[in-house]
Amino acid sequence: MSWPPKSPSGLIGAEIAGYRVERELGRGGMAVVYQAKDLRLGRTVALKLLAPQYTRNDAFRRRFTQESRVAAAIDHPNIVPVFEAGEFDGLLYIAMCYVSGQDLRALIDQEGRLPVAVALRMAAQLASALDAAHARELVHRDVKPGNVLVAKVVDSDHPEHVYLTDFGLAKKSLSLTGFTTAGEFVGTLDYVAPERIAGRPVDGRADLYSLACVVHEMLTGAPPFRREDQLELLWAHQYDPPPALSEERPDIPAAADAVLRRALAKAPDDRYDSCLEFVAALRDAVAEPVPRRRTPTAVDRVPPPEPPSWARPFLI
Ligand SMILES: Nc1ncnc2c1ncn2[C@@H]1O[C@H](COP(=O)(O)OP(=O)(O)O)[C@@H](O)[C@H]1O
Ligand SMILES: [Mg+2]
């Protein structure tokens, strides 16, 4: 086969740097991710290849090579481990741990809004991964459901495990960003923080904003700002107040509205200091009010009424 191949689907069955390509797992803005077999170790991996049309573009090449370095630098249970990265016959690749499951985009498309407890557990794992990146002064800059992998349930003690992936846009905190850099905003604008739109320096709080958009979507089925037109969407991120979560999802206490509002504040200084702080505040806000203990009275000691006869066979 000649390299780079004209069509990524033409790669099925091909051998690249010791990996046999088996099937396509997904694709984002600039890469295609395949399930592949590591022929040396016999294990299944996810092999990410820079799309052929980008291999000759220096900016994309740099971005792709950097991705593997960034992800490999953070050893965290909610960040996909990178095995190796390199170039093979002019084709850039990253071999990483294969996550059996689906991405959060597919899960939300399939299920709609998620149960509150599930959304909170996933949010806490993503928050932990992001805080670990931020502790190294790295900003992910592309937090969105398509970049969250949801692993298949292993056992009931660990009902879900999510991974943050795709560090292709990650940068050091406070670097200036705008719309001009090659490869930026190839996808959706649904999760982008106002300071990025304005071209101001970004830090971890931009990821916190995006995480809050993802949390809003997990809980309601849609991101906070939905507009027909891209420019209107950019305007909304910068100037419009976010909708109240409890209006879109009445089973969530109104106390959660203030938490989302703070995480989605237009100015980074008005947001939480860390992603885990945001998720902890959200968890407190949605928690059932704890019934206050009081001394039992005579009324409490009255035996409960007999269950109706139809219910008796079910009572053990
Ligand atoms: N390690 C992995 N295991 C399984 N599927 C993956 C893995 N990494 C990525 N994918 C799938 O491939 C898609 C694109 O991967 P991503 O890294 O986001 O590429 P891009 O940089 O092109 O956006 C993801 O949305 C996901 O569905
Ligand atoms: Mg992606």
- Average pLDDT of the chain is 86
Last residue of a domain, one of 62, 97, 132: 97
Which atom of ligand 1 is nearest the CA belonging to 30? 22
Q: Are 86 and 221 in a shared domain?
A: no
Active-site residue, from 142, 166, 190, 207: 142
- E strands in 155-285: 161-164, 171-172
DSSP 138-181: EE----SGGGEEEEPP-BTTB--EEEE---TT-EETT----S-S
Closest ligand 1 atom, residue 51 Cα: 22
Do 140 and 108 share a domain, yes or no?
yes
Report the nearest atom of ligand 1 relative to the CA of 102.
Answer: 27
Which protein residue's CA is at the shortest distance from atom 4 of ligand 1?
A: 99
Does residue 49 sit in the same domain as residue 198?
no
- Using the predicted structure, report yes or no on whether residue 156 has a pLDDT greater than 90: no
Contact 119, 217 (CB under 8 A): no
How far, in Å, from the CA of 257 to the mean position of ligand 1?
A: 32
47 and 121, same domain (yes or no): no
State whether 92 and 149 are in the same domain: no
Average pLDDT over residues 95-117: 96
Other C-beta atoms lying within 10 Å of the C-beta of residue 284: 11
Instruction: Supply the pTM of this predicted model.
Output: 0.86
Would you say residue 308 lies in a domain? Answer: no
Structural domain range at position 49 = 14-97
Whether 135 has a pLDDT exceeding 90, the answer reads: yes
What's the number of domains the chain is made of? 2
Residue 6 is assigned to a ligand binding site: no
| Ligand 1 centroid, distance to 166 Cα (angstroms) | 7
Look at residue 290 and tell me whether its pLDDT is greater than 70: no
Q: Is 157 a catalytic residue?
A: no
* Same domain, yes or no: 131 and 279: yes
Residue 121 structure tokens: 């557990």
Asked if the model's pLDDT at residue 33 lies above 90, the reply is: yes
Helix, strand, coil percent values for the chain (each to nearest 5) = 40, 20, 45
> What is the best residue among 33, 47, 144, 152 to mutate for testing ligand 1's pocket, by most ligand atoms within 8 Å of CB?
33
Most confident of 8-17, 171-180, 256-265, 295-304: 256-265
Name 220's Cβ contacts closer than 8 Å, sequence gap at least 6.
113, 245, 248, 249
Look up tokens 């939300």; give the residue: 108
